[in-house]
Structure 1
Amino acid sequence: MGKKHGPAIVAIGGGHGLSAVLRGLKNCTDDLTAIVTVADDGGGSGTLREELGMPPPGDIRNCMEALADEESLMRTLLAYRYPEGRLAGQAFGNLLLAALDGISTSFDQAVAQMSQVLAIRGTILPVTNENIQLEAVFENGTQVCGESKIFNFKKQQNCGIHHVRLIPEHPPALPAAVEAISRADIILLGPGSLYTSVIPNLLVDGISDAIEESKALKIYVCNIMTQDGETEGMTASEHLAALLEHGGPQLVDLCLCNNATLPREMLYRYQLEDAVPLVVDRREMEILGAEVVCRPLTDEKVDFARHSGDKVAQAVLELYQQRGHTKTF
């Protein structure tokens, strides 16, 4: 195997935020690892999890779609959802991963085999092989178990999330995930749902410690908008504070924030869902120990407030080069 080109990048998260960033990063380096949450319990993933006792495949499948060849038939096939019958709404990629899980000795091995079948660019790792649930504890002391239940429960309680935890607590990290973090040049947290996509990874035993001990440039890619049912009313510094409280004080060197203006019609649509552009309170973020860098990061080709993978990747590489990191790659 030839020498790899580009820095070793580890991206940690889940959901659409992680897959969007991976689409840009795969063109910048041959050494890319995605570490993906397995706390999801909703939708088609939740059904397979409940019926087969396997970790949820949905976020993993999204990452595989992102790292597959843009023009490949297999990428289209992975995303295909059955339109009717008992499989209505289920993605073919979820079923393929479930089948591989059935003939593999562990979930991470199934993910590795599917990655080989698809010849994806990069490595995708579940953060743990354990069957975990996410529990949210609210500021009024109430709690709810199940990632998919947090949104409605929060709306009912009408108060903020105090913290989240995993059940069982402290599941062991996949050793390969810890190893990837330890040799990384750049570690990215986010973008993505704060309490249900990013933070659950930090609660897996070994992940936060590995990030804190790493000499990599550690970047938190802040969300563009607040998220209804999860972070409404929170500023960027409050997102950062929640990350540090759950994971440790040395998790983040730099926060990368969007400063592109969103179209008025789009803002109005989000406002109807109790979501607004994230307020970047730079001074409070710097007090927490993070440098703040703002760039236009939005994807103008879609009708939602989404990150452009290419813009995020370009900003990340520029920041890495500017800071004079001397690791050879």
Structure 2
Amino acid sequence: MKDDWKLVVLGGGTGLSVLLKGLKRYTSDLTAVVTVSDDGGSSGRLRTEMGVLPPGDIRNCLVALAETETLMDKVFQHRFKTMSSLNGHNLGNLILVAMAEITGDFITAIKEISKVLAVRGRVIPSTLEHVVLGAWMEDGNTVLGETAIRNYGGRIRKLFLVPDTCEPVPDTLEAIRKADAVILGPGSLYTSVLPNLLVKGIKEAIEESPGITFYVSNIMTEKGETDGYTAFDHVQVINEHLGRQIIDYVVANDGVIDEMRLKRYREENAVPVKIDKEKIEKLGIKVIQADLVSDDELAWHDPYKLARVIIDVLATIP
């Protein structure tokens, strides 16, 4: 089997790092394009107080792509629990910010830390501009800020970025145009996947790419973002935001989620995402169903099951 697939994965949050952990088994030509609209937690505090890009999702991806589970990986994921201003901050976030100050820019900082962690692949912010995620809600209101959107409680009509002319990192467009596959998700539809696609030039680069495009549907609906959404609804939202269809394959879970985990999700009014296979296929999109559930306490994707499904599809394409 080919071992030099050129893969580009776009997203943020936990979902992106989970997929990267699996894909690094199959290729080193792996590019993670990470959303930078996060304004919560340690990342949000550093963004507000120091005017830096939010480092959290980038840190998670770097650790996911690290060659081995080393002490340095644990160092980068260490979170302070102390009665001081450090409380809640992640050490890896602070190291990324410090390295950016030392080297003079964020891209160089990521490259230097990638060497320390022996990263297999590369991690790129979707833009170097300080963007704010905004949403027009179905009730007519406008909400600014990723955290505010999550907590608003209403249905989202459409997202936008401020500024809406933010430029991508050139390496991102080059990687997409040369990719054998571009993979969207898994991750929060509105706050992890779509923000990357709204950056100027990225959707056009995906269209121009000779490779195929996957969308990895979430296993569970997400409170405040996709309540009641099916996999078809997720795809429709992406199409509506882009004004075109770029997805070739939808990867969806059909594995069983045990009652104990379902009970936890019901407390957040979250349910398994229904696939709606026939409706998706009417759009000309192929649907790949598989048992993708991990053995973790939460109903997350198993990194190795998910990566295997994607690689198996690629192996069938001449």
Tell me, yes or no, if the aligned pair for 2:183 and 2:215 is still in contact at 8 Å: yes
Tell me, yes or no, if the aligned pair for 1:23 and 1:67 is still in contact at 8 Å: yes
Q: Equivalences for 1:18-57 in 2 at 5 Å?
A: 18-57=16-55
**Superposed displacement of residue 105, structure 1:** 3.3
**Superposed displacement of residue 286, structure 1:** 1.7
Q: Work out the CA distance in 1 between the residues paired with 2:293 and 2:261.
A: 12
Q: Work out the CA distance in 1 between the residues paired with 2:307 and 2:4.
A: 12
Q: Work out the CA distance in 1 between the residues paired with 2:253 and 2:273.
A: 9
- What percent identity do the matched residue pairs reach? 44
Q: Work out the CA distance in 1 between the residues paired with 2:71 and 2:42.
A: 22
When residues 320 and 149 of structure 1 are mapped into structure 2, their CA distance, relative to the original with a 3 A threshold, is: same
Q: Work out the CA distance in 1 between the residues paired with 2:7 and 2:229.
A: 28
Q: Equivalences for 1:1-329 in 2 at 5 Å?
A: 5-84=3-82, 85-153=84-152, 155=153, 159-300=154-295, 302-322=296-316, 324-325=317-318
Q: Work out the CA distance in 2 between the residues paired with 1:71 and 1:126.
A: 24
Deviations 1:16-43 (A, max 9, x none): 0000000000111121110000010100
**Superposed displacement of residue 71, structure 1:** 2.0
Tell me, yes or no, if the aligned pair for 1:69 and 1:75 is still in contact at 8 Å: no
Amino acid at match of 1:256: V
Deviations 1:120-167 (A, max 9, x none): 1111001110000101111111111010111221x2xxx310011100
Secondary structure (helix, strand or coil) at the match of 1:134 reads: strand
* Structure 1: 4+ residue segments shifted above 3 A: none
Stretches of structure 2 that go unaligned for 5 or more consecutive residues are none
Secondary structure (helix, strand or coil) at the match of 2:130 reads: coil
Secondary structure (helix, strand or coil) at the match of 1:173 reads: coil
TM-score by length of 2: 0.97
**Superposed displacement of residue 321, structure 1:** 1.1
Aligned residues: 316
Q: Work out the CA distance in 2 between the residues paired with 1:112 and 1:27.
A: 20
Secondary structure (helix, strand or coil) at the match of 2:5 reads: coil
Secondary structure (helix, strand or coil) at the match of 2:161 reads: strand
TM-score by length of 1: 0.94
Stretches of structure 1 that go unaligned for 5 or more consecutive residues are none
Q: Work out the CA distance in 2 between the residues paired with 1:104 and 1:178.
A: 24
Cα RMSD for the two superposed structures? 1.2
Q: Work out the CA distance in 2 between the residues paired with 1:134 and 1:77.
A: 30
